[in-house]
Amino acid sequence: PDPAGRETTLATPATRKAARDRDVDIDDVPTDQTRDGEAFVTAEAVNAYADALESPASTPEPEPVETGPGTEPAVTAGDASETSAPASGDETVPYRGVRRTIGKQMERSKFTAPHVTHHDTAEVDALVEAREELKPKAEAEGVKLTYMPFVMKAIVAGLKEYPYLNSELREDDEEIVLKSEYNLGIAVATDAGLMVPVVENVDEKGLFELADAVNDLASRARERKLKPAEMQGGTFSITNFGAIGGEYATPIINYPETAILGLGAIEERPVVRDHADVASEFLDDSDDSTVVPAPTLPLSLSIDHRVVDGAVAAEFANTVMEHLENPLLLLNE
């Protein structure tokens, strides 16, 4: 039987003990029962699933491979017969539950959507200043203001101008659905694996409201207190690997979405500026421009190339950068 691969499951302590005794991940047990909107598993369902896994019928014998005269069957590195047993001291970790669900979703995305990643860098002096000016007011209202709400608003500006990045390809129906809502998923690293809670209707929320929503969802994701509905309905996703010091990456799309934006760390890096835009201590007489340190934000935009052309991805990134470099434009979003 195929594992259910849920992220949360309701069950009695006795049922959970039965799952442990049968070496079954309770999140994998199929069930049609629910309690308060969550999947509910009984001990009978656990035992039926475990029995099915142990049944010889669930492990079909491989079909014989015919070979021609003078030929031998090909052997590849992936053959089960070539899998080595764990060496002494190795640790074996179950590949089930949330980890398996994440793996299946990543596999589905990578092998379904042809990924292309566009990299660019925004110069964010004005954004840093805007956040610093707003932080005291945010703190007075009990809000922790990060850069994420600014990025979310800039993304919405880009999606409004380039709606194919806010779409879903339904290949069987031969159609692309351009979404009318702007629901942004925020990737959150947790002890259980990657969670992507969704902030709905970003275009209708202010910066402080977005900050509250992101902080709340991220906190509950780390505590594994999210409801399944809070991780559904996204139209575009953001991953902030810069929080641990990264610059660029090739993010995997949260399929069936069409695009994902990765954020690097905001740090001072060398940039070229015209003399008119540079403080006097950085100037020399050698040219009309000079290299100075300035805060920059690396961006990595992955797209489904079946839906979005590279030129459109670059134009979308330009619009996002324009709004990050001129944060007053975000007042219109």
User: Catalytic positions, please?
Assistant: 305
* 3-class secondary-structure state, position 121: strand
**What would the two tokens of residue 262 be?**
């990765």
For residue 255, what is the DSSP state? T
Spatial CA neighbour of 157 closest among 122, 182, 124, 180: 182
Task: Tell me the CA distances in angstroms from 103 to 99, 194, 252, 255, 307, one per residue in order.
Answer: 6, 10, 11, 12, 24
Spatial CA neighbour of 308 closest among 158, 183, 185, 167: 167
State how far the Cα of 260 lies from the Cα of 49, in Å rounded to an integer. Answer: 36
The helix-helix angle for 310-325 and 148-161 (nearest 10°) equals: 140
